[in-house]
Amino acid sequence: MYVNFKLGSSIVLNLGNNILRQLSTKANPLFPWNSRITSYFKKGDVKNARRLFDEMPQKNVVTWNCMISGYAKNGMVCEARKVFDLMPSKNIVSWTAMLSGYAKNGRLEEARRLFDAIEDKNVVCWNSLVSGYVSNGRLEEGRALFDVMPVKNDVSFAIMIEGYFHYGITREAKKLFDESLNKSVFLCNAMLAGYSEMGCVEESYGLFVRMCKRDSASWTSMIKCFFRVGDIERARKLFEEMPEKDVVSWTAMIRGYLNYNKIELAQELFNRIPDRDVIAWNSMLVGFVENGKFHEALDLFTRMPVRDIVSWNSILFGYVQQEDMTSVYNFFEEMPRKDETSWNTLICGYLGEEALVLYIQMLQNGFKPNQVTLSTVISVCGVHSIQMFGRGMHNFVVKSGYEIDRMITCSLISMYSRCGFISEAYSVFEKMMNRDTVAWNAMIVAQAYHNSAKEALTLFSRMIQSGSQPDHVTFLVLLTACAHSGLANGENRIDKSLNHSSLVTKAFVVACPYAIKQFSMF
């Protein structure tokens, strides 16, 4: 039977709005409308959220705040600002929602201007800006703001502690924790989570034992820490000792087992969960996909009582791994809802010019590309020598603030090199703040690609002087370039550098002369 889904969707929306009008005659007339708007935004359905907002017979400040928060959480900060500016009256929640939106989307200068304009700042305002600085890598500015806060709460300390752990500054995190007067369960859990991420198992367990009170998050953080260092038995034992297990702790155990390819143990645990929610199902689903058991993942997907966007995206990624692009596209078309991850997964599955077409469609549908997608599209431009599109991508990268991303920068170097613009490739490379082995290799490959063995060797010398460690890729490219250019002295310089390299790298390079005879890169 043919079903007009667009018509059906319209009927459902109209029916829902009629119900809302009937409900709105009760004590709190706008509550059902505001809840529906929030629900749409959570699903990423921005258009219907806006449609409902425009159709509302009346609005209160909560309605406007829902729109600001919803737009901001979906990355549409400009739309959030338009709503903010149109508000007939604002409260502190309005200002904080807009401030948080700017901060979470990396627009810190605008966030600061808004922060300075707030007359009566509460602790939530301060925390929002501190969090913005910390999460965007501006840790010192975040700490400076934290230090002048008139009032701090547990969240304030947790933001800074998590930031220090994220950037590997464990000592400062511990120092700040010791300075806090209130060692609440919440704050202790922030330390446990940080220790877990860093793999500091003894420090984590020591704090866990000293805690006067623990909640489920405390136990789960400790379990994750044991898994992180590979102590599966202690993780299992602690899990069994938990006084009350929730779905989060069950899921942590399942993911831990799956990370170590203990699929049977994960399945056994999954079957024991008393109340499985969609997160638990998704954990098992993702585990099957990541461990190459796609058929099992498909079977589980068909048995799921409820599926969310994560479920659909997991199977989409599974099809991409199978390199079955017909099934990838067909499944993508079947998806009831698509988000940025869906589009990014689809595009990254294509290596040809189709990726460019899909990228344009993604932008037209209002979704933002991530770093992997941008890198993929830029690489496609290089492979097919589509320099105009590649330059456009470079401009987009700069305007979007992705220029510091190593993956994207290396893709730009490769793209310009393949398109014949070695000077532009070199310019991108020189602007990089922190160059690791991958970045140096990208530029050395670019020079070798243009038969510039001398320039490649010069870069190699700079690489050694910078302290970056060459790997087998570096040596293979250099030896091949020297072989093609007849630079015997260049090979001697490479041999000397091998004295400081690993045994594996040395063994690899010894085999290179034989491989080079069979292998031509240029």
Q: What is the pLDDT of residues 139-184, one digit of tens each?
A: 999 999 999 999 999 999 999 999 999 988 999 999 999 998 888 9
In angstroms, the CA 82 to CA 453 distance is 55
* The predicted structure's pLDDT at residue 446: 87
333 within some domain = no
CA distances from 283 to 250, 266, 277, 292, 321 (A): 10, 10, 10, 14, 18
Q: 169 — phi, psi (to 5°)?
A: -95, 70
Of the residues 77, 111, 146, the one at which a domain ends:
146
* The predicted structure's pLDDT at residue 497: 52
471 within some domain = yes
> What CATH code is carried by the domain that includes residue 52?
1.25.40.10
| Under-70 pLDDT residues of the chain | 1-28, 484-522
Predicted TM-score (pTM) of the model is: 0.67
- CA 357, 362, 364: angle at the middle one, nearest 5? 95
* The predicted structure's pLDDT at residue 112: 95
* The predicted structure's pLDDT at residue 15: 42
Total domains, the chain: 2
DSSP 352-387: STHHHHHHHHHHHTT----HHHHHHHHHHHHHTT-H
331 within some domain = no
- The sign of the dihedral angle between the CA atoms of 352, 353, 354, 359 is positive
Of the residues 86, 115, 146, the one at which a domain ends:
146
50 within some domain = yes
Of the residues 146, 168, 185, the one at which a domain ends:
146
Domain that holds residue 137: 16-146
* The predicted structure's pLDDT at residue 404: 73
406 within some domain = no
* The predicted structure's pLDDT at residue 45: 82
368 within some domain = no
Coil, strand or helix at 53: helix
Kindly calculate the radius of gyration of the chain based on its CA atoms and give it in whole angstroms. 27
179 within some domain = no
The two structure tokens encoding residue 145: 């703001």
249 within some domain = no
